[in-house]
Amino acid sequence: MTELQSGYKIKGLRSDRGGEFLSSEFNKFCDEFGIQRQLTIAYSPQQNGVAERKNRTVVEMAKSMLHEKGISYDFWAEAVNTAVYLLNRCLTKSLKKITPFEAYTGRKPGIAHLKDFWISLSCTHPFSIKA
């Protein structure tokens, strides 16, 4: 999917030794598409520090959104998706004046459609939210 969206071929993938990355099905997929795999040493998150730090940022942001609005952790997935969506539309030091969205798509992200997290969640799940 990423290759179709970006037009770039995935050459390599660095991952931990989680079961989802060690399955024969995943090995076959990588072999079939010529993706070179690099597995980190067990229990050494520092080998994939950039990804680990970004994951921490996403988790902290999702927790903050849920806490700020007094929303149940039942909506964790929505909070994480929103956090990633927003972070992909924010400038980063490493990309120098463009967002991850722009680096990936070649287009500037629009932000006029963004709404408050609670309002977006209320519209998505009108009968299931209990504040």
Residues 18 and 64 in one domain: no
Q: Over the Cα atoms of the chain, what is R_g? A: 18
Residues 55 and 110 in one domain: yes
pLDDT tops 70 at residue 131:
no
The verdict on residue 130 lying in a domain is no
Q: How far apart are the first and last CA of the chain?
A: 37
Residues 57 and 112 in one domain: yes
Structure tokens at 52: 């680990």
Residue 15, beta-bridge partner list: 39
pLDDT score for 121: 59
The verdict on residue 112 lying in a domain is yes
**Which pLDDT tens digit goes with each residue over 81-124?**
999 999 999 999 999 889 999 998 899 999 889 888 766 655 55
Domain count, the chain: 2
Residue 1 to residues 4, 19, 51, 74: CA-CA distances in angstroms? 5, 22, 20, 28
Residues 85 and 117 in one domain: yes
Give the mean model confidence (pLDDT) for residues 25-46.
92
Domain extent, residue 53, equals 48-124
pTM: 0.75
The verdict on residue 62 lying in a domain is yes
Residues 97 and 55 in one domain: yes
Residues 114 and 63 in one domain: yes
> Is-contact 39 15, C-beta < 8 A?
yes
Residue 49 to residues 14, 15, 45, 54: CA-CA distances in angstroms? 11, 11, 6, 8
**Which pLDDT tens digit goes with each residue over 52-80?**
999 999 999 999 999 999 999 999 999 99
Residues 98 and 39 in one domain: no
What is the percent of the chain with per-residue pLDDT over 90, rounded to a whole number? 56
Which helix (H) or strand (E) segment is 4 a member of? helix 2-6
Q: What is the number of residues in the chain?
A: 131
Q: Tell me the pLDDT band of 45, cut-offs 50, 70 and 90.
A: confident
Conformational region of residue 44, where left means phi above 0, alpha means psi within -120 to 50, and beta covers everything else: beta
